């Protein structure tokens, strides 16, 4: 089985590849690629992301045939897909970082600045109560934070518990239109989406490759998933 990590110029992907290689089974090979045709042979597809929403979308679109191949392999053939950080944010319909930009639109919702006010920016992203922060939030949200599992039975969360730590670096957060698709949150002034899942499409706001045992467990869980 081939695990394809998409390289569209969003940063050094070696640390992510090493994390996947560390937990991959003997029959799984990890490849970092900007060749859309490789995705046809992949069993799992990973979309990382570092930087601004608009830049990442533009970088992905700049690779001829990549978006069309992603839609074929993920939406039609239902291969397990994992978006990481901005790679998760790009799954949504709209991002508001440095203007309004269209995302992939695979998950209904939008990506807004942490601490923004007004309408959906303040919508709950989980069934846990929001907690107001008495001090101004530091942006970006950077460092270790606890996970709160909303759907602990999801296979992506096997052997992961509420209270486990993950490493975050982000200034914007995703707000799901369908709250049940936010399967884990983290608390930073309010409940922020930490993990999303919709059928074979999954995403994490944090960096699993930097999240030690929690991140490695999540990657291992993802690599054990099969087409749905």
Catalytic residues: 85, 207, 209
With tokens 């990657």, the residue in question is 219
Give the closest residue to 4 by CA, choosing from 35, 45, 41: 45
H or E stretch covering 100: none
Q: Quick one: angle between helices 212-223 and 14-23, nearest 10?
A: 70
Buried/exposed code over 128-154 (b: 16+ C-beta within 10 A; e: otherwise): eeeeeeeeeeeeebeeebebbbbeeeb
DSSP codes of every residue in 118-175 = SGGGG--SSSSPP---SSPPPSSEEEEEE-EES-TTSGGGTT--TT-EEEEEESEEEE
E strands, the chain, in order:
2-6, 29-33, 44-47, 81-84, 92-95, 101-102, 107-113, 141-146, 148-149, 165-170, 172-176, 182-187, 191-198, 201-204
Q: Is the four-CA dihedral 16, 97, 90, 172 of positive or negative sign?
A: positive
């Amino acid at each position: 089985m081939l695990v394809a990590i998409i390289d569209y110029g969003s940063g050094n992907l070696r640390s992510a590849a090493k994390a996947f290689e560390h937990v991959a089974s003997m029959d799984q090979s990890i490849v970092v690629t900007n060749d859309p045709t490789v995705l046809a042979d992949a069993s799992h597809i990973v979309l990382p992301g570092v930087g601004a929403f608009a830049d990442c979308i533009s970088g992905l679109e700049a690779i001829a045939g990549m978006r069309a191949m992603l839609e074929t392999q993920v939406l039609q053939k239902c291969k397990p897909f994992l978006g990481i950080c901005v790679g998760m944010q790009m799954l949504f319909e709209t991002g508001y970082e440095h203007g309004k930009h269209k995302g992939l639109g695979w998950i209904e919702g939008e990506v807004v600045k942490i601490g923004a006010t007004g309408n959906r920016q303040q919508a709950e992203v989980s069934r846990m109560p929001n907690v107001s922060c008495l001090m101004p939030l530091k942006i970006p949200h950077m460092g270790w934070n606890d996970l709160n599992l909303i759907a602990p039975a999801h296979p992506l969360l096997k052997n992961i518990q509420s209270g486990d730590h993950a490493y975050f670096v982000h200034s914007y957060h995703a707000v799901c239109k369908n709250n049940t698709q936010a399967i884990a949150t983290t608390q930073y002034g309010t409940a922020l989406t930490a993990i999303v899942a919709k059928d074979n499409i999954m995403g994490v706001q944090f960096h699993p490759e930097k999240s030690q045992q929690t991140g490695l467990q999540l990657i291992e869980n993802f690599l054990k998933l099969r087409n749905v």
